[in-house]
């Protein structure tokens, strides 16, 4: 099974993922837009598949009643979204290194997207969170 690695921009947070990863889902919700500056795109895996190799800069922010976001407090990169249910952890796809072999297959919270862009392409669009982690 392929091991993916990733990091924040400055390298203070580094991780590897061994195990199944979900295809990439783009999220247009307000929290993702505020935290990233646009919309986000994330894969997801079971929490036990994610190993932190360096977490000096990692800070968690409670962005909603049901989840926290992990980011680097040194460089500001958004890295993780972790629901309290603990069934998965989302990993923002831009933080992955090199070739991932993943595809962006759907868009969620399209009803909250900004008015300054159009969602292009054939990927499915869901007005609510329609993409569950299926492994």
| Interface with Zn ion (CB under 5 A) | 8, 10, 12, 27, 29, 32, 57, 72, 74-75
CB of 87 vs Zn ion, minimal distance in Å: 17
> Please, which residue, 49 or 92, has the CB nearer to Zn ion?
92
Q: Which of 129, 6, 115 is nearest to 64 (CA)?
A: 129
> Please, which residue, 20 or 112, has the CB nearer to Zn ion?
112
Phi-psi region of 109 (alpha: psi -120 to 50; beta: other; left: phi over 0): left
- Two tokens, residue 16: 């590897």
- Two tokens, residue 18: 């061994």
CB of 56 vs Zn ion, minimal distance in Å: 9
């Amino acid at each position: 099974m392929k091991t993916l690695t990733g990091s924040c921009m400055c390298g203070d947070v580094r991780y590897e993922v061994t195990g199944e990863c979900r295809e990439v889902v783009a999220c247009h919700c307000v929290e993702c837009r505020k935290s990233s500056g646009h919309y986000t795109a994330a894969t997801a895996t079971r929490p036990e598949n994610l190993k932190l190799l360096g977490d000096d800069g990692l800070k968690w922010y409670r962005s909603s009643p049901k989840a926290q976001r992990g980011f680097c407090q040194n460089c500001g990169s958004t890295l993780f979204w972790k629901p309290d249910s603990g069934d998965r952890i989302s990993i923002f796809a831009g933080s992955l290194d090199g070739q991932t072999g993943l595809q962006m297959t759907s868009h969620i919270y399209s009803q909250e997207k900004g008015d300054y862009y159009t969602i292009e392409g054939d990927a499915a669009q869901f007005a609510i969170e329609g993409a569950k982690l299926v492994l």
